[in-house]
Amino acid sequence: MKAVITSIVVAIILALIFSLPALAQESGTITITMTGVNEISISLDKTQWPLGNVASNTEYETSPQIEWCTLTVEGNCNVNTFIVGEDAEWVDNPGAYKWTLSSDGTNGENVYGLQFRISGDTTRGPLVDGYVPVTKIESEFWPYSGGSGSSLAPDDTKQFGLKLLTPTYFIGGRQMQTQITISAVAA
């Protein structure tokens, strides 16, 4: 009888040993770490390109060509930056007519090309001339794979320009609008 009671007590103690830490974990702390007081911030000194009328199958470049806009790292953390474009839509009726943004900077019927070039970048891009297509898939702006550059530090700047290649054919007399988004994330 005594042995049975002892074994039961031992079993209960063992059970408590297993279950108490588990119960303790139920009230475990969730830790949220905000990385310092880091602020991510970039600025662009230009956001508009007043092109006016354009002709079909024609290239337009910003002026100055590659120092048209300045991106500045305003926050206090290093950043990697990206760029993405979109189709150009008819301002008066966006769903009714658009120019599709090509995936390689070339053009076609109702298809337009956009490229960017960063100042000092002379060998980047498919034609090794520094120009890189802006596509509908977010891709590296700076730094970039295969390049020797590193993430941009606070107060760093990058100057760049844009090149537009209009469609080989489009419906005239329509005001078109598009947007290029430059994004940044902490390096």
- Nearest distance from C-beta of residue 128 to another protein, angstroms: 23
- Nearest distance from C-beta of residue 151 to another protein, angstroms: 12
- Nearest distance from C-beta of residue 6 to another protein, angstroms: 12
- Cα 48 versus chain centre, distance: 19
Nearer to another protein, 49 or 108 (CB): 49
DSSP assignment of 98-118 equals EEEEPSSS--BBTEEEEEEEE
Nearer to another protein, 106 or 178 (CB): 178
Number of residues in the chain: 187
Are residues 85 and 182 in contact, defined by beta-carbon separation less than 8 angstroms? Answer: no
How far apart are alpha carbons 164 and 180 in whole angstroms?
A: 12
| Interface with another protein (CB under 8 A) | 4, 8, 11-12, 14-16, 18-19, 21-22, 25-26, 28-56, 69, 74-75, 77, 80, 91, 145, 164, 169-186
Question: In this structure, is the dihedral angle defined by the CA atoms of residues 153, 159, 163 and 164, taken in order, positive or negative?
Answer: positive
Closest CA to 156 of 38, 37, 41, 35: 41
**Which two tokens mark 1?**
């009888």
- Nearest distance from C-beta of residue 129 to another protein, angstroms: 22
- Phi and psi torsions of 81, nearest 5°: -120, 155
- Nearest distance from C-beta of residue 30 to another protein, angstroms: 5
Nearer to another protein, 47 or 148 (CB): 47
Nearer to another protein, 67 or 74 (CB): 74
Nearer to another protein, 148 or 173 (CB): 173
